[in-house]
């Protein structure tokens, strides 16, 4: 990691610590858009960090972008950074400039049919311009809807806005051909979401460790009990596994020719991240006792996001099926060569 | 954010990939010639002949300096060799301990005379070592060892009893952890490591059959065995520190998650024949195993890459071993469920053979080299909880 990236990550930590506060994250659950935080991200070159300089970005490479998303996840940042980057990258890929301000996307679906219909679970669909990809591979179209028609406002389990939109009835300001195929688009989203999950998992571990050191029962800190120690070691292993899988996928994606080259690495990362959620959140909650079940304690900002995010951009079932199909296709002889190509630069 | 327990991605250098192809070609030939049958937990299978062939290829002690018989290659190359041998289910048990931990220990703590005397033989696959740590009353609590060495003229007189000594019956030497001064308040003080040649007078060995009826480990009794000063490893009284650093090598390698890989490989052919191209839950279940395996491999590689730079990664190694061996327990059980659900015969063919072998051997996976409960205790310490 370069010195300038290191600096960028430190800046991100500082901004999120100051502005992604408990109160701010709670206000998001009431539907409030965190304009102050978004402005701070823009002013510090973080909002567009992954985009080219020409678009006001920092031209960060994907590996560093993933590191930044981990920081955002660690702070439950109440802004759609990943969605904005996905939208921005799609526009840049299609040779377009960015309209300014935050963007969101209609969540990609590898099987997505022709444009456009109703889209469910669009993050911040009510308040941000929406970028959507439609058509079939080889003949994809990218559209930008400045103000999409909202059929129903909703929220994911974490209270993040997640709306149902009528794109067919919405006006679009841009309609261009796109070279992005559906699968790489989904994979890019999956990698970014996995990075946020890695950050949120790190935070669950940090909160749980701090809590068991502080909370006393039977005259001792909870941390003194072996049952608690063993559980936290299990939690730590899950956190570490997700972090490793995400880093490997980011590295493979960055050094492959395209995100598509790292499809299987990303499949591993998103599947592993989603698979970790059940036991990691169970342990984190269990050691927090009733306190962790309150609205007041911060733990739920992370666990609720993890329960939501594990379903985004493909569940573990989706990605494990992709990997299982590949394994069956290459067979017993081919599986090992397939596995050893993961994490290297030539695994297309 | 916690800086601990991160596993930065390690990319393999091109030389390692070249080596991978050489190893695969070698294994194909050996298999074609019928020189080995792929096994579950193949590092529990010893073939001195197979080890000598690896030695001739320059693949034992391959990271060591040339003057000690090594090839001065990187630990990532050794990593690749190891994962290829294990995934193929090759019989690597004879040299496993000497190549993995004895050599590195002698490099770190041994005298020049000891290195020159033992390492070239290890690298040729002609000199095998056993580990003499556990005792009847010292398992997880290793510092409780009672085997004792008393000072005599020119050396030490060794008395005591070691158990679970893997392949001691095929080995030429054993590194024995023993007490060289009485227990004090600091129970870790007063321990030392002695290199004992197993044909020395006063040694008795008795096989301990494991649950399969296989002679894998042994009880070794020392009765007034004389060990010369020149066979003390490192410092008298420094045994505990040395053993702990030895364990880091023992804990994060691919043998901590690949032991039952051959079961998965042998499942795929018959499974595909049974379920075809369907994308049902069984396909997903296979994918879940691939996901866990691929992740563990990245974690283990990350540790291997950094151990090479001299980092101290005891806690990371403990995480890999805990997570990896839990996966090892899971893999055969999942493979069995998948096969049964697909209507595959469970007790026939290559899959049936490897599965049966795995089911019987798997209980050892979460014990050997330090149990998972003990590992998790170490991880908790790393988290600052104790
Ligand atoms: C296949 C195999 C090969 C081996 N090869 C060798 C060898 O070559 N050389 C050698 O020296 N040793 C060898 N061992 C021994 C191995 O290192 C020990 O089995 C291991 O350290 C555990 O010791 P134990 O078996 O005495 O179990 P114990 O220490 O008696 O433990 C029994 C159970 O209690 C748990 N337990 C113990 N203490 C605690 C605690 N404080 N907190 C929570 N739980 C605890 C353990 O985790 C375990 O589940 C081998 C073992 C196996 C299975």
Q: Tens of pLDDT along B113-137? A: 999 999 999 999 999 999 999 999 9
pLDDT of residue B259: 98
Q: Helix, strand or coil for residue A221?
A: strand
pLDDT of residue A348: 34
Which protein residue has the closest C-alpha to ligand 1 atom 7? B165
Please report residues of B whose CB lies closer than 8 A to that of A251.
Answer: 9, 11
pTM, entire model? 0.96
pLDDT of residue A3: 86
Lowest mean pLDDT among A246-255, B64-73, B87-96, B369-378: A246-255
For residue B57, give both structure tokens: 């290829």
Residue A124: pLDDT over 80: yes
Atom of ligand 1 lying closest to residue B133 CA: 11
B119 and B21 in one domain?
yes
B158 and B95 in one domain?
no
pLDDT of residue B244: 87
A267 to B271: CB separation less than 8 angstroms, yes or no: no
The answer to whether residue B246 is domain-embedded is no
Other CB atoms within a 10 A radius of the CB of residue B176 amount to: 28
- Proportion of chain A above pLDDT 90, given as a percent: 81
Measure CB to CB from residue A323 to each of B264, B287, B297 and give the nearest one: B287
The answer to whether residue B245 is domain-embedded is no
Residue B251: pLDDT band (50, 70, 90) is confident
Do strands B155-162 and B232-233 pair parallel, antiparallel, or not at all (unpaired)?
unpaired
Indicate whether this complex's ipTM tops 0.90.
Answer: yes
Residue B310: pLDDT over 80: no
CB neighbour list of residue B52: distance below 8 Å, 6 or more residues apart: B124, B125, B126
- Domains, chain A: 3-177 (1.10.540.10), 182-341 (1.20.140.10)
pLDDT of residue A114: 56
pLDDT of residue B311: 75
Q: Does A230 touch chain B (CB under 8 A)?
A: yes
A245 to B265: CB separation less than 8 angstroms, yes or no: no
Highest mean pLDDT, choosing among A334-348, B150-164, B245-259: B150-164
Select which of B250, B316, B328, B357 is catalytic: B250
Q: Where residue B62 sits, what CATH number does that domain have? A: 1.10.540.10
CB neighbour list of residue A281: distance below 8 Å, 6 or more residues apart: A204, A303, A306, A307
B223 and B189 in one domain?
yes
The gap from C-alpha B370 to its chain's centroid, in whole angstroms, comes to 11
Residue A347: pLDDT band (50, 70, 90) is very low
B297 to A339: CB separation less than 8 angstroms, yes or no: yes
Measured distance CA(B36)–CA(B29) in Å, rounded: 10
Average pLDDT over residues A204-226: 98
- Proportion of chain B above pLDDT 70, given as a percent: 99
Between positions 80 and 99 of A, the ones with CB within 8 A of B are none
Q: Does A211 touch chain B (CB under 8 A)?
A: no
The answer to whether residue B243 is domain-embedded is no
Other CB atoms within a 10 A radius of the CB of residue A145 amount to: 24
Q: Determine contact, residues A296/A253, Cβ cutoff 8 Å.
A: no
Please report residues of B whose CB lies closer than 8 A to that of A205.
Answer: 2, 383
Please report residues of B whose CB lies closer than 8 A to that of A267.
Answer: 287, 291
Lowest mean pLDDT among A58-62, B67-71, B324-328: A58-62
- Proportion of chain A above pLDDT 70, given as a percent: 96
A229 to B301: CB separation less than 8 angstroms, yes or no: no
Residue A135: pLDDT band (50, 70, 90) is confident
**Ligand 1 pocket, Cβ-based, cut-off 6 angstroms:** B 130-134, 139-140, 164-166, 217, 364, 367-368, 370-371, 373-374
Please report residues of A whose CB lies closer than 8 A to that of B291.
Answer: 245, 267-268, 271-272, 275, 316, 319-320, 323
Q: Where residue B177 sits, what CATH number does that domain have? A: 2.40.110.10
pLDDT of residue A117: 78
DSSP B91: -
B385 to A232: CB separation less than 8 angstroms, yes or no: yes
Please report residues of A whose CB lies closer than 8 A to that of B261.
Answer: 336
B369 and B311 in one domain?
yes
Residue A116: pLDDT over 70: no
Terminal C-alpha separation, chain B: 20
- Proportion of chain B above pLDDT 90, given as a percent: 91
Q: Which residue has the higher pLDDT, B248 or B70?
A: B70
pLDDT of residue A254: 85
pLDDT of residue A134: 82
A319 to B291: CB separation less than 8 angstroms, yes or no: yes
Residue A257: pLDDT band (50, 70, 90) is low
Average pLDDT over residues B50-65: 98
| Residue of chain B whose Cα is closest to the Cα of A318 | B284
| Residue of chain B whose Cα is closest to the Cα of A1 | B8
Residue A200: pLDDT over 70: yes
pLDDT of residue B206: 98
Is B250 annotated as catalytic? yes
DSSP for A232-246, please give it. Answer: HHHHHHHHHHHHHHH
pLDDT in tens, A304-323: 999 999 999 999 999 999 99
Measure CB to CB from residue A343 to each of B87, B298, B376 and give the nearest one: B298
CA dihedral A149, A153, A156, A161 (to 10 degrees): 70
Average pLDDT over residues B324-346: 98
Which protein residue has the closest C-alpha to ligand 1 atom 31? B140
Among the three residues B96, B127, B158, which one is the final residue of a domain in this structure?
A: B127
pLDDT of residue B309: 81
Average pLDDT over residues A320-339: 97
pLDDT of residue B256: 97
B197 and B136 in one domain?
yes
Residue B187: pLDDT over 80: yes
Question: Which helix (H) or strand (E) segment is B253 a member of?
Answer: none
B343 and B277 in one domain?
yes
Q: Which residue has the higher pLDDT, A110 or A77?
A: A77
The answer to whether residue B19 is domain-embedded is yes
Measured distance CA(B366)–CA(A208) in Å, rounded: 26
The answer to whether residue B242 is domain-embedded is no
CB pairs under 8 A between A and B: 189
Question: Which helix (H) or strand (E) segment is B149 a member of?
Answer: strand B148-152
The answer to whether residue B51 is domain-embedded is yes
DSSP A161: B
B42 and B23 in one domain?
yes
Angle, CA A227 vertex, CA A224 and CA A229 arms, to 5°: 55
Among the three residues B177, B208, B237, which one is the final residue of a domain in this structure?
A: B237
pLDDT in tens, B353-380: 999 999 999 999 999 999 999 999 999 9
Measure CB to CB from residue A209 to each of B279, B294, B383 and give the nearest one: B383
B94 and B179 in one domain?
no
Measured distance CA(B303)–CA(B313) in Å, rounded: 7
Measured distance CA(A69)–CA(A12) in Å, rounded: 10
Please report residues of A whose CB lies closer than 8 A to that of B290.
Answer: 268, 320, 323-324, 326-327, 335, 339
Residue A115: pLDDT over 70: no
Residue A111: pLDDT band (50, 70, 90) is low
| Residue of chain B whose Cα is closest to the Cα of A335 | B265
Residue B291: pLDDT over 80: yes
Chain A interface disruption, residue of B7, B261, B295, most A CBs within 10 A: B295
Measure CB to CB from residue A327 to each of B88, B290, B386 and give the nearest one: B290
DSSP for A140-174, please give it. Answer: EEEEEESSPEEEE--B-TT--BEEEEESTTS--SE
Sign of CA dihedral A333, B25, B300, A4: negative
Average pLDDT over residues B334-343: 98
The answer to whether residue B157 is domain-embedded is yes
Terminal C-alpha separation, chain A: 25
Q: Which domain holds residue B216?
A: 131-237
Residue A103: pLDDT over 80: yes
Residue B56: pLDDT over 60: yes
The answer to whether residue B170 is domain-embedded is yes
Residue B1: pLDDT over 50: no
pLDDT in tens, A57-99: 888 889 999 999 999 999 999 999 999 999 999 999 899 999 9
Residue B22: pLDDT over 60: yes
Q: Determine contact, residues B165/B218, Cβ cutoff 8 Å.
A: yes
The stretches of chain B forming alpha helices (DSSP H) are 14-32, 48-56, 75-87, 93-97, 103-109, 112-124, 239-251, 261-275, 281-307, 314-341, 349-361, 372-382
B329 and B346 in one domain?
yes
Residue A113: pLDDT over 60: no
Among the three residues B237, B270, B292, which one is the final residue of a domain in this structure?
A: B237
Q: Where residue B353 sits, what CATH number does that domain have? A: 1.20.140.10
Ligand 1 centroid – CA B219 distance (Å):
15
pLDDT in tens, A1-45: 788 889 999 999 999 999 999 999 999 999 899 999 999 999 999
B290 and B200 in one domain?
no
Atom of ligand 1 lying closest to residue B364 CA: 53
The total domain count for chain B is 3
B263 and B277 in one domain?
yes
Distance from CA of A202 to the nearest CA of B (A): 7
Residue A112: pLDDT band (50, 70, 90) is low
Q: Does A251 touch chain B (CB under 8 A)?
A: yes
For residue A145, give both structure tokens: 């809807």
Question: Taking all residues of chain B, what is their mean pLDDT, rounded to a whole number?
Answer: 95
B218 and B111 in one domain?
no
């Amino acid at each position: 990691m370069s010195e300038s990236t290191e600096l960028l990550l430190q800046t991100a930590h500082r901004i999120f610590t100051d502005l992604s506060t408990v109160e701010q994250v709670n206000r998001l659950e009431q539907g409030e858009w965190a304009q102050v935080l978004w402005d701070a991200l823009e002013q510090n070159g973080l909002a567009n960090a992954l985009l080219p300089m020409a678009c006001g970005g920092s031209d960060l490479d994907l590996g560093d972008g993933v590191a930044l998303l981990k920081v955002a996840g660690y702070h439950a940042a109440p802004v759609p950074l990943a969605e904005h980057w996905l939208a921005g990258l799609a526009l840049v890929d299609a040779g377009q400039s960015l309209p300014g301000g935050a963007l969101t996307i209609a969540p990609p679906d590898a099987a997505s049919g022709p444009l456009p219909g109703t889209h469910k679970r669009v993050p911040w669909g009510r308040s941000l311009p929406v970028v959507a990809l439609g058509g079939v591979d080889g003949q994809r179209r990218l559209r930008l809807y400045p103000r999409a028609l909202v059929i129903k406002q909703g929220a994911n389990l974490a209270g993040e806005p997640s709306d149902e939109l009528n794109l067919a009835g919405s006006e679009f300001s841009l309609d261009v051909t796109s070279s992005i195929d559906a699968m790489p688009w989904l994979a890019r989203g999956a990698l970014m979401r996995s990075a946020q999950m890695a950050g949120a998992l790190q935070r669950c571990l940090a909160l749980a460790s701090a809590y068991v050191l502080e909370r006393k029962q039977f005259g001792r800190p909870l941390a003194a009990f072996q049952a608690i120690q063993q559980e936290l070691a299990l939690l730590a292993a899950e956190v570490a596994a997700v972090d490793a899988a995400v880093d490997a996928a980011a590295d493979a994606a960055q050094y492959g020719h395209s995100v598509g080259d790292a499809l299987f690495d990303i499949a591993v990362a998103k599947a592993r991240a989603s698979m970790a959620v059940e036991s990691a959140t169970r342990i984190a909650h269990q050691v927090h006792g009733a306190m962790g079940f309150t609205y007041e304690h911060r733990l739920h900002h992370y666990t609720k996001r993890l329960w939501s995010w594990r379903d985004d951009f493909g569940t573990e079932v989706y990605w494990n099926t992709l990997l299982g199909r590949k394994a069956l296709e290459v067979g017993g002889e081919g599986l090992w060569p397939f596995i050893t190509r993961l994490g290297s630069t030539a695994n297309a | 954010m916690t800086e601990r327990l991160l596993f930065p991605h390690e990319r393999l250098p091109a030389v390692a990939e070249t080596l991978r192809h050489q190893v695969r070609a070698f294994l194909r030939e050996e298999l074609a010639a019928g020189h080995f049958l792929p096994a579950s937990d193949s590092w529990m299978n010893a073939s001195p002949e197979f080890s000598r062939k690896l030695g001739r290829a320059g693949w034992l002690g391959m990271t060591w300096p040339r003057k000690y018989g090594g090839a001065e290659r990187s630990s990532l190359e050794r990593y690749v060799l190891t994962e290829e041998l294990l995934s193929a289910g090759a019989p690597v048990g004879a040299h496993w301990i000497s190549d993995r931990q004895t050599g590195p220990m002698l490099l770190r703590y041994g005298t020049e005379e000891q290195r020159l005397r033992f390492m070239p033989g290890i690298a040729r696959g002609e000199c095998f070592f056993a580990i003499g740590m556990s005792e009847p009353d010292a398992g997880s609590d290793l510092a409780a060892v009672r085997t004792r060495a008393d000072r005599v003229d020119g050396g030490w007189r060794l008395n005591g009893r070691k158990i679970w000594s893997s392949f001691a019956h095929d080995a030429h030497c054993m590194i024995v952890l023993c007490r060289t001064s009485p227990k004090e308040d600091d129970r870790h003080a007063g321990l030392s490591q002695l290199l004992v040649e197993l044909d020395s007078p006063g040694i008795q060995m008795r096989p301990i059959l494991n649950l399969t009826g296989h002679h894998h480990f042994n009880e070794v009794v020392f009765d007034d065995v004389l060990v010369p000063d020149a066979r003390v490893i490192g410092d008298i009284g420094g045994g505990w520190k040395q053993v702990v650093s030895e364990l880091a090598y023992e804990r994060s390698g691919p043998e901590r998650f690949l032991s039952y890989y051959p079961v998965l490989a042998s499942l795929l052919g018959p499974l595909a024949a049974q379920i075809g191209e369907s994308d049902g839950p069984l396909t997903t279940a296979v994918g879940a195993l691939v996901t866990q395996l691929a992740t563990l491999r990245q974690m283990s590689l990350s540790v291997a890459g950094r151990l090479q730079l001299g980092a101290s990664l005891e806690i990371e190694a403990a995480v890999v071993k805990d997570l990896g061996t839990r996966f090892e327990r899971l893999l055969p059980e999942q493979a069995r469920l998948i096969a049964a659900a697909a209507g595959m015969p469970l007790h026939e063919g290559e899959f049936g053979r490897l599965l049966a072998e795995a089911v019987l051997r798997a209980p050892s996976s979460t014990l050997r080299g330090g149990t998972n409960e003990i590992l998790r205790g170490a991880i908790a310490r790393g988290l600052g909880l104790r």
